[in-house]
């Protein structure tokens, strides 16, 4: 899962763990946190999305949609942050960040990871509507370059809409806000009876969701009504992995 064959063959020569990532990207934070939880050495390839460093033929040769993160592990290229962290947990099982497959609790972790992946577009919409819209807006020339490289209709349409004089539509923004409110209501409920998202142990489920909280909070998402989420957030933020994977990279400006 998530393994691709890149057309940019320079990456196939990478040995060890190489991460193509952006300091402030929530999907990148997930991977950095997993690497830090496991105490793994990794090589950073920083791709500044705010400067459009992902919109080049070279980078599209590494990620066919021009997104971060990408992990290259001993020449094998993996995309999709939830697949990447799953891969890391299987390859480097100490400490485990997912219960064993036959425990029944693994399903809960996978479910939370899938929900986060499925709702990424809503996080992106909220972020662009409240914080990133102008920074990520593309000029006509930049849009023309992007069209040359991007085959994915959904991403193309998203960036075209964001770069239009009207920006993202009100309907899109309200829908995404509603979906995210429902997601965090579910999370708050799950955290009512247990310290971590999938039970008594800190897992990939927490690692998948905390970056979404970090970035949405910076964009002013109304989290005040979720008391259990507030407690959980403080507990995750107290971990050394959060310090190194999120705060050190964002200067506290998640």
Ligand X SMILES: N[C@@H](CCC(=O)N[C@@H](CS)C(=O)NCC(=O)O)C(=O)O
CB atoms within 10 A of CB 49: 20
- Taking only Cα atoms into account, the Rg of the chain, rounded to an integer number of angstroms, comes to 18
Q: Least CB distance from residue 94 to ligand X, whole Å?
A: 24
Return the residue of 19, 23, 26, 254 that touches ligand X, per CB under 6 A: 26
Site for ligand X contains 66 (CB under 6 A): yes
Site for ligand X contains 33 (CB under 6 A): no
**Please, where are the H alpha helices in 92-131?**
105-118, 120-127
Site for ligand X contains 27 (CB under 6 A): yes
Q: Least CB distance from residue 47 to ligand X, whole Å?
A: 8
Site for ligand X contains 77 (CB under 6 A): no
Return the residue of 19, 33, 35, 67 that touches ligand X, per CB under 6 A: 67
SS3 48: coil
Site for ligand X contains 86 (CB under 6 A): no
Question: For residues 15 and 105, what is the distance between their CA atoms, to the nearest angstrom?
Answer: 34
Site for ligand X contains 23 (CB under 6 A): no
Question: For residues 47 and 202, what is the distance between their CA atoms, to the nearest angstrom?
Answer: 29
Return the residue of 17, 19, 62, 68 that touches ligand X, per CB under 6 A: 68
Site for ligand X contains 168 (CB under 6 A): no
Please give the order of strands across the beta sheet that includes 70-73: 3-4, 76-79, 70-73, 17-21, 43-46
Question: For residues 119 and 180, what is the distance between their CA atoms, to the nearest angstrom?
Answer: 8
According to CB under 6 A, which residues from 174 to 213 bind ligand X?
A: none
CA distances from 71 to 21, 30, 87 (A): 9, 12, 10
* Closest CB to ligand X among residues 68, 210: 68
Question: For residues 35 and 12, what is the distance between their CA atoms, to the nearest angstrom?
Answer: 20
Site for ligand X contains 214 (CB under 6 A): no
Q: Which stretch binds ligand X (CB under 6 A): 22-30, 94-102, 186-194, 217-225?
A: 22-30
CA distances from 201 to 58, 86, 109, 195, 210 (A): 40, 16, 11, 8, 15
Site for ligand X contains 120 (CB under 6 A): yes
* Closest CB to ligand X among residues 106, 117: 117
Site for ligand X contains 62 (CB under 6 A): no
Site for ligand X contains 37 (CB under 6 A): no
Q: Which residues bind ligand X (CB under 6 A)?
A: 25-27, 49, 54, 66-69, 80-82, 117, 120, 155
């Amino acid at each position: 899962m998530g393994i691709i064959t890149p057309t940019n063959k320079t990456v196939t020569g990478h040995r060890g763990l190489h991460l193509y990532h952006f300091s402030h990207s929530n999907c990148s934070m997930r991977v950095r946190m997993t690497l830090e939880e496991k105490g793994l050495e990794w090589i950073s390839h920083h791709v500044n999305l705010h400067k459009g460093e992902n919109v080049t033929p070279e980078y599209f040769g590494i990620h066919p949609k021009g997104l971060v993160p990408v992990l290259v592990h001993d020449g094998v290229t993996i995309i999709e942050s939830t697949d990447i962290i799953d891969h890391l947990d299987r390859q480097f099982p100490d400490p485990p960040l997912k219960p064993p497959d036959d425990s029944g609790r693994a399903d809960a972790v996978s479910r939370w990871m899938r929900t986060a992946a499925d709702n990424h577009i809503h996080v992106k919409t909220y972020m662009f509507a409240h914080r990133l819209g102008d920074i990520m807006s593309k000029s006509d020339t930049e849009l023309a370059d992007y069209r040359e490289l991007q085959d994915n209709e959904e991403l193309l349409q998203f960036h075209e809409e964001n770069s239009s004089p009207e920006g993202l539509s009100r309907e899109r923004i309200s829908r995404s806000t509603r979906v995210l409110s429902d997601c965090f209501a579910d999370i708050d409920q799950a955290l009512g009876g247990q310290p971590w998202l999938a039970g008594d142990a800190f897992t990939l489920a927490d690692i998948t969701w905390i970056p979404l909280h970090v970035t949405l909070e910076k964009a002013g998402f109304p989290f005040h009504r979720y008391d259990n989420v507030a407690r959980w957030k403080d507990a995750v933020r107290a971990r050394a992995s959060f310090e190194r994977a999120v705060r050190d990279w964002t200067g506290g400006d998640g």
